[in-house]
Amino acid sequence: MNLKKGFLAACCVLAIGFLHAQNTKPGLYHEPFRPQVHFSPPEKWMNDPNGMVYNKGVYHLFYQFYPDATVWGPMHWGHAESKDLIHWQQKPIALYPDSLGYIFSGSAVLDVHNTSGFGKNGQAPLIAIFTHHDPKGEKAGKADFQNESIAYSLDDGKTWTKYSGNPVLKNPGIKDFRDPKVMWFEASKKWIMTLATKDRVTFFSSLNLKDWKKESEFGAQLGAHGGVWECPDLFPLSLNGKIYWVLLVSINPGGPNQGSATQYFVGNFNGNSFIPKNTATKWIDYGPDNYAGVTWSNTGKRKIFLGWMSNWLYATQVPTVKWRSAMTIPRELSLQEVNGDILLASKPAKEFDALRLSPKVVKNAQVDGSLNLTNKFGQLPKQFELKLSIKEVKDFSINLSNTVGEQLIIGFDKARNSYYIDRRKAGESSFNKDFAAIHYAPKLSASKSIDLTLVVDAASVELFADNGLSVMTSIFFPKKPITNLQLQANGSLFTDLEMIPLKSIWK
Ligand code: FRU
């Protein structure tokens, strides 16, 4: 090694040491409970994902954001961008409250044909469609304090100009009149807005995103009604060459496991009205912590979903200090036929696989009573995927625990034909009386076996069972990281197992 090379090598070692120190230093993205494979804001309050649109190789994620506190307040649209749906770059706030009110949830589209006329020099504008929520009107007891407005961007989402003619859709006197999700309906060459209007959704159409006409209503007598309807989404998905329309509707409260949750309907949409194929209530995720989720627009046939990983029951009380809330991992949606019914399945988007490190695999492990896998896998990494493939449908549980005896139990209860997540002893829960609970999700698949993927992060678990048909998302707040893994079964059970450590998205 000559002197020059030696000097360079020394510099490299120093630089790596410095970077390492930076990465391991406590601080931003290293705080207790800070998700390592999920998007969370650097600081302060976040709720619903908004304005998700894909354009020029970039996934935009806007979100309900209050930059002055870690509780809900006057809403802004925060903004982050990603090239791969996984690694996010924080951007300046996109939309601020103004004289018409706070900026509530909504969507964004690429106006390819410049129907709005906001485009310039052949540049198609991005258009955000959102609810203006007027707090003064609300306080005064008026009914029309939520109205729909638009803003446009000609620099790929960097800066936004609100339309001078706002609001573009005036409230006819309905207290809950919000969360516009807009899509292009090619068959009639018009825009369709799906809007949450109290206990139903209302469809509106427009040729230019500025003038809106009511088409029809859906759902006053259908689905779950334990709370107000919010954050709808409408999109087509194909199955065996046939197109079906999926309508997502979040409701709060009234979810299957208390509080906030998202139901869906599968049916047909003809540009005017939505006709469901089947009217039984269905949930996209049975866990307590996936709310207000919608799909990215402009992603072609792929439908990629992201939800807010919290619940209005306790969102403002969870024990994170610098920030509050994270998003789910992005999920690819698809349809599956089960016993003649068409169901919606969610699976981690394939981009997520890029985070995988070398897996630890055990084939045909026998669980007879209990099997401690910490001996085989060593201490669990901070974030990981766990895959189980069990050839029969039987009671079993996965026990994830830490050195202070806290445990998160995920399992299957055959008598109930349900998966469950038990977070009763999984860490801090004193902040809300409803938090420490066990939640169930029915096994919807007709299969005689069980396949299960868990995505475990610092303060959350996501369960995808049976090809994404039974899904649960649950947050939890362990005082020490989860390090031990144990399987439990009554009698003997055989399973293939894979534990896949995941890289942090913040490094
Ligand atoms: C859903 C929601 C929306 C509303 C937003 C306000 O979580 O209540 O209906 O637009 O949050 O932050």
Same structural domain for residues 240 and 283? yes
Q: Is 320 a pocket residue for ligand 1 (Cβ < 6 Å)?
A: no
Boundaries of domain holding 445: 356-498
Is residue 469 domain-resident? Answer: yes
Same structural domain for residues 267 and 146? yes
Is residue 1 domain-resident? Answer: no
Q: Is 292 a pocket residue for ligand 1 (Cβ < 6 Å)?
A: yes
Structure tokens belonging to residue 80:
């982050």
Same structural domain for residues 324 and 371? no
Ligand 1 centroid – CA 160 distance (Å): 21
Q: Is 48 a pocket residue for ligand 1 (Cβ < 6 Å)?
A: yes
Q: What mean pLDDT do residues 276-290 have?
A: 96
C-beta of residue 399 within 8 angstroms of C-beta of residue 488: yes
Q: For a pocket test of ligand 1, which of 44, 46, 64 has the largest count of ligand atoms closer than 8 A to its C-beta?
A: 64
C-beta of residue 291 within 8 angstroms of C-beta of residue 305: no
Per-chain mean pLDDT for the chain: 94
Same structural domain for residues 275 and 319? yes
Same structural domain for residues 321 and 460? no
- DSSP-assigned beta bridge partners for residue 323: 44
Distance in angstroms (rounded) separating the CA atoms of residues 79 and 89:
9
- Confidence (pLDDT) at 375: 86
Residue scoring higher pLDDT (17 or 102): 102
- Confidence (pLDDT) at 490: 86
Q: Is 146 a pocket residue for ligand 1 (Cβ < 6 Å)?
A: no
- Confidence (pLDDT) at 24: 46
Is residue 208 domain-resident? Answer: yes
Q: Is 451 a catalytic residue?
A: no
pLDDT exceeds cutoff 50 at 259? yes
Distance in angstroms (rounded) separating the CA atoms of residues 297 and 285:
21
The number of the ligand 1 atom at minimal distance from the alpha carbon of 75 is 12
Is residue 504 domain-resident? Answer: no
Same structural domain for residues 290 and 389? no
Rg over alpha carbons for the chain, rounded to the nearest Å, is: 24
Same structural domain for residues 123 and 57? yes
Same structural domain for residues 236 and 203? yes
Start-end of H helices in 85-240: 135-139
Tens digit of each residue's pLDDT (9 = 90 or more) over 428-467: 999 999 999 999 999 999 999 999 999 999 999 999 999 9
The number of the ligand 1 atom at minimal distance from the alpha carbon of 72 is 12
- The secondary structure element, H or E, covering residue 488 is strand 484-501
- Confidence (pLDDT) at 496: 97
Ligand 1 centroid – CA 450 distance (Å): 36
pLDDT exceeds cutoff 60 at 188? yes
Tens digit of each residue's pLDDT (9 = 90 or more) over 28-68: 899 999 999 999 999 999 999 999 999 999 999 999 999 99
Is residue 322 domain-resident? Answer: yes
- Confidence (pLDDT) at 2: 37
Q: Is 401 a pocket residue for ligand 1 (Cβ < 6 Å)?
A: no
Ligand 1 centroid – CA 104 distance (Å): 6
Q: What are the φ and ψ backbone dihedral angles of 144, each rounded to 5 degrees?
A: -105, 40
* Boundary (domain end) residue, out of 294, 313, 348: 348
Tens digit of each residue's pLDDT (9 = 90 or more) over 206-222: 999 999 999 999 999 99
For residues 359, 365, 371, 373, the Cα torsion angle rounded to the nearest 10 degrees is -10
Same structural domain for residues 338 and 377? no
C-beta of residue 144 within 8 angstroms of C-beta of residue 137: yes
- Domain of 185, CATH number, reads 2.115.10.20
Is residue 15 domain-resident? Answer: no
Structure tokens belonging to residue 221:
């007598």
Q: Quick one: pLDDT band at residue 26, thresholds 50, 70, 90? A: low
* Boundary (domain end) residue, out of 316, 348, 380: 348
- Domain of 478, CATH number, reads 2.60.120.560
Q: Is 75 a pocket residue for ligand 1 (Cβ < 6 Å)?
A: yes
Is residue 339 domain-resident? Answer: yes
Name the domain count of the chain.
2
Is residue 258 domain-resident? Answer: yes
Q: Is 40 a pocket residue for ligand 1 (Cβ < 6 Å)?
A: no
Same structural domain for residues 332 and 183? yes
> Three-state SS for 39?
coil
The number of the ligand 1 atom at minimal distance from the alpha carbon of 308 is 7
Distance in angstroms (rounded) separating the CA atoms of residues 142 and 174:
10
DSSP string, 368-398: EEEEE-HHHH-SPPSSEEEEEEESS---EEE
* Boundary (domain end) residue, out of 348, 368, 391: 348
The model carries a pTM of: 0.94
pLDDT exceeds cutoff 50 at 169? yes
Same structural domain for residues 125 and 257? yes
Tens digit of each residue's pLDDT (9 = 90 or more) over 381-411: 999 999 999 999 999 999 999 999 999 999 9
Q: For a pocket test of ligand 1, which of 178, 194, 294, 316 has the largest count of ligand atoms closer than 8 A to its C-beta?
A: 178
Same structural domain for residues 324 and 457? no
